[in-house]
Amino acid sequence: MKKAIIFDLDGTLLNTLEDLTDSTNYALRTCGFPERTLEEVRRFVGNGIRKLIERAVPVNTDAENISECFTVFCEHYKQNMENKTAEYTGISDMLSTLYAAGYKMAIVTNKADFAAQVLCGKLFGNYVKTVVGSVENRPNKPAPDGVYYALEQMGVVKEEAVFIGDSEVDILTAKNAEIDAIGVLWGFRDLADLEAVGVKMTVKTVKELEKLLLNLKNC
């Protein structure tokens, strides 16, 4: 029987792609670099915003210019991360149902902690009490450190938890943490990306995920 659920954020609970793209392109323009398309940014996200900027700038950009671009991105994103970002349809209803069923829930994300705390607190704070964002002294996913911290905060062991995410980073995180994983197919990656890293369970809709999780609670 499962007692706890750990969710990824971007591409799993929230569609953040347009705001991430807008802030990326603002930073690129400001630093004199060419802009990127929405689909390019879709492929760049998943490993944190520092890695997003490293992938977005031109090849062979030096470290100083990458750092400058990253700083500009962060300042812009702090003020603009809620412009177009929204939860995927049905997410809050699902979280409410899972909370009522007795699940403990956490969010572990490579999004900067300042952004994760603001967005998750406003949108999901009634149901999700543990939010683990990216900070300097803890390795990002796919390292399992954030998952371990979330498990400790929820007071559960890994065998009692399941990880939900939309990307290969999330599936690898679950593998590294030795917990079960479910891949969602409405986010930033497709089935082939998840299959390439050995995903065993996937769902196409939020309602399908809710049903599966309720079944795991009652097994």
pLDDT tens per residue, range 104-161: 999 999 999 999 999 999 999 999 999 999 999 999 999 999 999 999 999 999 999 9
Phi-psi region of 198 (alpha: psi -120 to 50; beta: other; left: phi over 0): left
Interatomic CA distance for residues 128 and 217, integer angstroms: 17
Instruction: Report helix angle 91-100 to 113-124, nearest 10.
Output: 70
Interatomic CA distance for residues 192 and 66, integer angstroms: 31
Interatomic CA distance for residues 90 and 96, integer angstroms: 10
Strand partners, 112: 134
The superfamily (CATH) of domain 4-15+85-218 is HAD superfamily/HAD-like (3.40.50.1000)
Q: What are the residue ranges of CATH 3.40.50.1000 in the chain? A: 4-15+85-218
Amino acid 154 reads: M
Which pLDDT belongs to residue 217?
83
**17-80 adopts what CATH topology?**
DNA polymerase; domain 1 (1.10.150)
